[in-house]
Amino acid sequence: MSSIRLDRQRIRELFDLRRRTEYSGTAYRGDPYPAFQRLRESGPVHEGIPHELIGYDGIAYFHGLPEPGRPHYSVFSYAECEAAYRNPEVFRSSPPDAERQAGSLDASMLYMNGEEHRRHRQLVQPSFVPAKAKWWIANWIQHTVQGLIDGFEADGRAELNVDFDAAIPLLTITGSFGLTIDQALDVRESLDGGAGGGRLLDYLAPIVAARRNEPEDDLISVLCQAELKHDDGTTQRLTDAEIMSFSALLLTAGSGTTWKQLGITLYALLTNPDVLAEVRDDRSLLRAVVEETLRWNTTDPMFSRWVHEDTTLAGVEIPSGAVVHLVIGAADRDPARWDDPDVFDVHRPLQPSLAFASGPHICLGMHVARAEISTAGDALIDRLPNLRLDPDAEPPAIIGMYERGPSHLPVIWG
């Protein structure tokens, strides 16, 4: 297996949360959970925006923000967040007056509702069911994980965010689209709106043309061969513009979130060496580690929904057109559902959290994300003996408001 080394400077520019302060509050260095707890205790639903309610300013844009012309409400309890997710007719994923441009991310199924969303999701859902995790592992995840470790194993030290975490989901999802390792960072830059703005279309157009004629065992072939069913019973292949919308969504989500959750999982293990020792001796605990980390510190602790008719949530009247921010980070530490919810405890009874949302828009790639995190953690423990935080480096911390992850993960072994 050949080693994999990506351009570390470009990785830092694209993935280091400390450099992304203008977008989602990654300049935030505090712990939002005590404030979340105080707000939840005073009522599950509050009028206002989460970061403003906890006294933090400086976030220009995130999902559902800024939307200055709409009233805003924030939800902090598990029961009310779950109720909103399970009522997609009222709490929808796009505004009542949304306009979608063909081929853009806004035209993807992320912003679709009802039957339109269901029909589009069904096209790719079979590639993301739990049984397909082995397909992802065998085709892309295992090769990427082992190749990355090959690239730094002899060094005796690494910064896992840069050398490991960011590359695994990036190379997994771009590989499933037939893109090369050399193209992967260009695509990520394009999705971030950087200098590579037109490269996604340039790279994907010839692959789409080839897969329409000769499909292969990859995700882009699934999109090229998929048939969308219309209300009258007729079917048609996705247009190139529709494939680009799907591709932008899947590539953005696939390369933009799991690396942070993997980093949080490794942070939890490295800062709890007793748990790391347990996992080293009993790998069956990895599943509990992954699920507990998702609950305890999810990488995306807030997502928004738009209200399409007047409604009431926990006794609070919410008008049509409002934005409701579901603070799943707070919901997943709700003491009404978990004992000692602020404690990282891999031995607590397993039960679902909202880390991957719920309802019709539950995260499509959640089983792939779990496979990536578990495969990565297992391989690190196998191949890097006595893995530990570098005592001579600045200690890492989990940072950010609506986009959370480790500041850095300097480690040594041997």
Span 311-323, mean pLDDT? Answer: 96
Whether pLDDT at 114 is above 90: no
What is the DSSP annotation of 95-127? -TT----TTSGGGSGGG--HHHHHHHHHHHGGG
99-106: list long-range contacts, CB under 8 Å, 24+ apart: 102/241, 102/242, 102/245, 103/241, 103/242, 103/244, 103/245, 104/245, 104/248, 105/245, 105/248, 105/249, 105/252
Span 104-128, mean pLDDT? Answer: 80
pTM of the complete model:
0.93
Span 383-394, mean pLDDT? Answer: 97
pLDDT at 107: 58
Whether pLDDT at 196 is above 50: no
Gap between the Cα atoms of 113 and 17, Å rounded: 31
Query: Residues 276, 291: contact at Cβ < 8 Å?
Result: no
Q: 8-22: per-residue pLDDT in tens?
A: 899 988 888 887 655
Residue type, 231: D
pLDDT at 18: 83
pLDDT at 100: 57
pLDDT at 98: 64
Q: 178-188: per-residue pLDDT in tens?
A: 999 989 998 88
- 115: pLDDT confidence band, cut at 50, 70 and 90? confident
